[in-house]
């Protein structure tokens, strides 16, 4: 999967990923809140193939699933982080988003860098050809992620 | 010997297991996301589900009023009998005669760790996971490792929790925290500590049920003889000792950005909040009232107080605690989540500062301003002085 990295730092909290004022059942409203605690108009800048890259503890704090839903609605299929909060990890799986735990990713990827991601193989190939690997998901989890992926969810 | 987590979930540390839950908590803040997925589906056992309206209580926009109305329809349609509206914050409501020691409880909220104060195993879930739990009565868990926290000195739940956060930071992610209470803390303080364990990333927090638990449950006419001992030391991946000698404050904007009171004293305050699922219990309200008995709220400060539940509110009324707070200039809000997550009355303007007894001070948590976290006494004194005080009179 050919992707473009949208890079955030360590300790990105759910209150920043999706501020509570965007809590809604209206998909248009929900997607507007994506990353609004850090970059208010982030959702406007998303292009096909964009993925989120972050450091440690992505999604710490609240368990509100509207965060993962906003990522899904924006058409983002992959989040790579050094580590995830338990809630963000489970919510991503349930929303058909691959939460990939890749050590050292933040040091090696800059904003808008292209990269190739092979979620099932457990591999990320950077622009210069360097390959970073991670432990692939058990088949049961792959099945859950795939069954929850829906192209029609992209409302950008 | 099995760890506490292995006993509750089955399997061995690191295993993925499917496990039946004993009880489920739903609230209006997250349940709206599961209505569509539950369309036409039955709940495996509606008797085991409690629904609480506490986030949008009462609702401040038409959209939120619609969420609340849909939740009322949902509980009616699905046969959920235990529906609580305007009765208090979900976790407090669950700990007032519902959750029992030894139960595995799934809550649709990250602060479901609170139930560990009663010797239960409370785990939070998002809405999609909760759909599966409501349909099947079970879900998958990874059996977590254990961190042991020994509390050897300290008087206040918020201070002990902040000390725990300073020492563990977010390193309990995916783990269970077990507490060794050498102080004999009252249940209010245990509830605060188990609640704030969520900020370490912990999947669950656990106080073994003891005489204090049994006496607390007797107030709700519950007799429990469940005994669950702590995991052996050798099975813990980390051990932490907590000994708190002076009040602590978490500065913006992480709960583990902890300082001693004197390091942040003098900071000018616009709003004070005493409430949230981390506080607002009798001991917190009494602490605040004691400070405010001999002082008035500073003219430049707004003091907002939310009792954790209707039961707490009634008790505080009867004891004269609320009278003291109101006479001193406090604004009493109804038992609910209130301003804690910036979804109800009491959000901050840009550049404003709040000191609060709540559990989170992440950027944007309470609107645009910054939030400090402290115990009820420090918060009440901040309301009187208009700045974070140098010391408290304990």
Q: What's the pTM value of the predicted model, to 2 decimals?
A: 0.97
Confidence of residue B343 (pLDDT cuts 50, 70, 90): confident
CATH number at residue B374: 3.30.499.10
Would you say residue B16 lies in a domain?
yes
| ipTM for the assembly | 0.95
- How many angstroms separate the CA of residue B195 from the nearest CA in chain A? 12
Domain ranges of chain A: 2-153
Q: In which domain, by residue range, is B15 found?
A: 9-242
Q: Which of B16, B67, B109 lies nearest to residue A63, judging by beta carbons?
A: B109
Cis peptide upstream of residue B104 (ω within 30 degrees of 0): no
Q: Is B390 a domain residue?
A: no
Q: What average pLDDT does the segment B207-221 reach?
A: 98
Chain A hits for B108, Cβ within 8 Å: 63
Of B16, B33, B129, the CB nearest to A90: B129
Looking at residue A149, what is its pLDDT?
A: 78
Q: Count CA atoms within 13 Å of residue B127 on its CB side.
A: 20
Radius of gyration, CA atoms only, chain B: 20
Residue A121 CA, distance from chain mean position: 18
Flag if A15 and B365 touch (Cβ within 8 Å): yes
Q: How many domains does chain B have?
A: 2
Taking CA atoms, B330 is separated from A103, B55, B283, B378, in Å, by 49, 21, 17, 15
pLDDT at position A150? 61
Report the alpha-carbon angle B253-B207-B170, nearest 5.
25
User: Taking all residues of chain A, what is their mean pLDDT, rounded to a whole number?
Assistant: 94
Strands B271-274 and B302-305: parallel
Closest among A56, A70, A53, A39 to A5, alpha carbons compared = A53
In a domain, B56, yes or no: yes
Indicate if B87 and B195 belong to the same structural domain.
yes
Instruction: Find chain A residues with C-beta within 8 A of B124's C-beta.
Output: 63, 87
Residues of A in contact with B173 (CB under 8 A): 57, 60, 83, 85-86
Asked if B18 is an interface residue toward chain A (Cβ–Cβ < 8 A), one would say no
User: Is residue B296 located within the same domain as residue B274?
Assistant: yes
Size of interface A-B (CB pairs under 8 A): 85
Q: For residue B123, is it within any domain?
A: yes
What does the buried/exposed string (b/e) look like for B187-200 if buried means 16 or more CB atoms within 10 Å of the residue's CB? bbbbbbbbbbbbbb
Cα B377 to its chain centre, rounded Å, is 18
Is B1 part of a structural domain of the chain? Answer: no
- Asked if B110 and A87 come within 8 Å (Cβ–Cβ), the reply is yes
Q: State the greatest distance between any 2 C-alpha atoms of chain B, in Å, as a whole number.
A: 59
pLDDT of residue A153: 52
CATH topology of domain A2-153: Aconitase; domain 4 (3.20.19)
Give the full edge-to-edge strand order of the sheet including B204-206: B204-206, B175-181, B145-153, B236-243
Given B219, B242, B265, which residue is the final one in a domain? B242
Mutate to test the interface with B, among A9, A92, A94 (most CBs of B within 10 A): A94
At residue B266's C-alpha, the angle toward residues B260 and B268, to 5°, is 120
Nearest CA to CA, how far is B111 from chain A (Å)?
A: 8
Under an 8 A CB cutoff, do A83 and B343 touch? Answer: no
**pLDDT over 70 for what percent of chain B?**
100
Residues B253 and B236 in one domain: no
Cα distances from A23 to residues A123, B116, B151, in angstroms, run 34, 28, 38
With pLDDT > 90 as the criterion, what percentage of chain B qualifies? 97
Q: pLDDT-based confidence at B178, cuts 50/70/90?
A: very high
Q: Which of B14, B126, B362 to mutate to test the interface with A (most CBs of A within 10 A)?
A: B126
Per-10-residue mean pLDDT of chain A, 156 residues long, equals 97 96 95 97 97 98 96 97 97 97 96 97 97 93 87 54
The phi-psi region of residue A106 (left if phi > 0; otherwise alpha if psi is between -120 and 50; otherwise beta) is alpha
Res A156: pLDDT: 59
Of B205, B227, B242, the residue that ends a domain is B242
Give CA–CA dist B372/B251, Å, rounded.
5
Asked whether residue B280 is assigned to any structural domain, the reply reads: yes
């Amino acid at each position: 999967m050919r992707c473009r990295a949208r890079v955030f730092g360590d300790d990105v909290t759910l209150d920043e990923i999706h501020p509570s004022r965007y809590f809604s059942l209206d998909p248009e409203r929900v997607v507007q809140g994506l990353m609004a605690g850090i970059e208010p108009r982030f959702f406007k800048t998303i292009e096909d193939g964009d993925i989120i890259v972050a450091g440690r503890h992505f999604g710490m704090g609240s368990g509100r699933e509207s965060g993962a839903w906003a990522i899904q609605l924006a058409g983002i299929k992959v989040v790579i982080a050094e580590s995830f909060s338990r809630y963000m990890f489970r919510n991503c799986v349930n929303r058909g988003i691959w939460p990939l735990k890749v050590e050292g990713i933040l040091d090696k990827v800059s904003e808008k860098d292209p990269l190739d991601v092979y979620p099932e193989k457990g591999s990320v190939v950077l622009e210069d050809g360097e390959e970073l690997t991670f432990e692939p998901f058990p088949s049961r989890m792959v099945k859950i992620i795939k069954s929850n992926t829906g192209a029609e969810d992209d409302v950008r | 010997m099995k760890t506490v987590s292995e006993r509750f979930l089955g399997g061995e540390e690191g295993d993925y297991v499917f496990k039946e839950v004993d009880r489920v908590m739903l609230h209006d803040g997250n349940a709206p996301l599961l209505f569509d997925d539950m369309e036409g589906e039955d709940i495996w056992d509606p008797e085991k589900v409690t629904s609480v309206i506490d986030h949008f209580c009462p609702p401040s926009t038409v959209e939120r009023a619609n969420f609340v109305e849909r939740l009322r329809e949902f509980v009616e349609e699905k046969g959920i009998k235990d529906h609580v509206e305007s009765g208090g914050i979900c976790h407090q409501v669950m700990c007032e005669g519902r959750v029992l020691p030894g139960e595995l409880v799934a809550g649709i909220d990250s602060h479901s760790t609170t139930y560990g104060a009663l010797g239960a195993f409370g785990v939070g879930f998002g809405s999609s996971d909760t759909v599966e739990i409501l349909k099947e009565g079970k879900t998958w868990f990874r059996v977590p490792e254990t961190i042991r926290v020994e509390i050897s000195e300290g008087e206040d739940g918020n201070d002990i929790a902040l000390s725990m956060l300073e020492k563990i930071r977010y390193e309990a992610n995916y783990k269970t925290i077990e507490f060794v209470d050498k102080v004999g803390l009252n249940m209010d303080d245990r509830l605060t500590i188990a609640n704030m364990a969520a900020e370490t990333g912990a999947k669950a927090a656990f106080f073994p049920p003891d005489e204090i638990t049994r006496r607390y449950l007797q107030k709700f006419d519950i007799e429990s003889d469940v005994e669950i001992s702590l995991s052996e030391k050798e099975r813990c991946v980390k051990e932490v000792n907590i000994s708190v000698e002076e009040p602590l404050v978490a500065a913006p904007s992480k709960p583990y950005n902890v300082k001693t009171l004197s390091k942040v004293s003098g900071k000018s305050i616009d709003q004070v909040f005493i409430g949230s699922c981390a506080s607002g219990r009798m001991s917190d309200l009494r602490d605040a009232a004691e400070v405010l008995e001999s002082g008035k709220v500073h003219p430049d400060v707004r003091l907002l107080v939310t009792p954790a539940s209707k039961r707490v509110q009634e008790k505080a009324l009867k004891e004269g605690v609320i009278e003291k707070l109101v006479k001193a200039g406090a604004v009493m809000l109804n038992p609910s989540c209130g301003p804690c997550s910036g979804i109800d009355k009491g959000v901050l303007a840009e550049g404003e500062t709040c000191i609060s007894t709540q559990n989170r001070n992440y950027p944007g948590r309470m609107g645009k301003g910054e939030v400090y976290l402290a115990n009820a006494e420090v918060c009440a004194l901040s309301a009187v002085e208009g700045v974070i005080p140098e010391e408290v009179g304990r």
